[in-house]
Structure 1
Amino acid sequence: MTTARADSPPNGIDYPHQQPTGRFSNGLNFPDLIAEALGLESPLPFLNPDLKGKKLLAGANFASAGIGVLNDTGFQFVTVLKMYEQLGMFLEYKHRLAALMGPAKAQEVVSNAVILITCGGNDFVNNYFLTPVAPRREQYTLPDFCGYVMSEYKKLFDLVDELNRDIGEDVFISANAFSLKMDMIEKPEQYGAHGTRVCV
């Protein structure tokens, strides 16, 4: 059981049924918007008991609130599914899909899937600022910790580049969500917002 929960208001108040969805958002989040743009339904969480049979074909959501790239990120939430555990669930999803439709067809479905991994702020906020007892704060100065986290993220970016080179195409794409958000805040008119008040 985790204490990082999003199953109560105000989460979900702008969602079509105005019910909390388990997402830390008052409406659709980035993966939901991508699914909507592709004409797909938002995938169920992998641990949802309803994720079986044909519902597996819509994909699965492996997210766990509070995690990050660092394995100790989210320790204060008691139980979180760390990145490596989420990757293990992805492998289990592939096995379930193969049991449903056969290994070759399952591999085709996964090969043509859009896979989104979002991580970032939790490694900083949860490990350094949020808790009164923050082991990383004892271990690093803030500039040193920033350098450490950035070196871990660089490993991910390098892995993305390596995978694309091995495949021969840019199948994997990395994006800086912070820069995108700051661009919306600093240049709202480019995103259709006019006037003096903008809510992003």
Structure 2
Amino acid sequence: MDALLVISFFLAAALLFAIPAASAAAPRAFFVFGDSLVDNGNNNYLMTTARADAPPYGIDFPTHMPTGRFSNGLNIPDIISEHLGSEPALPYLSPDLRGDKLLVGANFASAGVGILNDTGIQFRLYELGARRVVVTGTGMIGCVPAELAMHSIDGECARDLTEAADLFNPQLARMLGELNAEIGRDVFISANTNRVSFDFMFNPQDYGKYTVAIIQ
């Protein structure tokens, strides 16, 4: 199966599972690992304070109701699913994830997960059959609403966190390039989330209905 995965690398979940083989004509399955940027409802099933089950979350979702997504509406995996021509992958904890729904994929993201020393084992995904893995860098972590509310005096983003993202993202891209060279094919794709976040924040009119506002 030509599986497409999105991994929010800064706070990546260390969850792995086998991806079964399928014919080349079969639709691609979509599996998601990560944190609140890509969580689409797993935390609704967990005992945690990191929840998005009340307004204003979901106010721009088609149902106008909170869904567990840490966004006012669709999140990035939802948009990718649209472009793949498939329905969004369900949270892995959802009781509805069974039968044919399993062929669509699954979302393993959970808001608040931390980065661990063993999260590097996610790169075994290639050995398990994944052939397109999108690894996102860190976004504008110094500009998230919580950071601005707690530490910003004049509305500027936190400089130390901004600098940390600027240091981390190029190193991530280089590491993925080296990994692809070892494999001999371009499997791991680096996504510049920082640049995308910057565009969303300062040029929202360019994105119309696809603008994703993280309001955590």
* Structure 2 length-normalised TM: 0.52
Deviation at 1:2, TM superposition (A): 2.2
Runs of 4+ in 1 over 3 A off after TM superposition: 83-91, 112-132, 142-155, 181-189
Map of 1:164 onto structure 2: 180
Structure ranking higher in helix proportion: 1
Residues 15 and 26, structure 1, Cα contact 8 Å, conserved in 2: yes
Cα pair distance change 1:45/1:154, threshold 3 Å? same
Structure ranking higher in strand proportion: 2
- Which of 1 and 2 has higher RCO (CA within 8 Å, sep 6+)? 2
Alignment of 1:1-200 (within 5 A): 1-65=47-111, 80-84=112-116, 107=128, 110-112=129-131, 115=134, 117=136, 119-122=138-141, 147-148=163-164, 150-183=166-199, 191=206
Deviation at 1:23, TM superposition (A): 0.9
Pairwise CA RMSD of aligned residues? Answer: 4.3
Map of 2:155 onto structure 1: none
Secondary structure of 1:44's partner?
coil
Deviation at 1:181, TM superposition (A): 4.2
Quick check: which has more Rg, 1 or 2?
1
Distance 1:11 1:161 in 2: 37
Query: What 5-or-longer segments of structure 2 have no aligned partner?
Result: 1-46, 152-157
**Alpha-carbon displacement from aligned partner over 1:145-178 (angstroms, at most 9, x marks no partner):** 6555544444422221112212333332223233
Percent identity between matched residues is 43
* Structure 1 length-normalised TM: 0.56
Count residues in correspondence.
Answer: 157
Secondary structure of 1:161's partner?
helix
Distance 2:212 2:136 in 1: 25
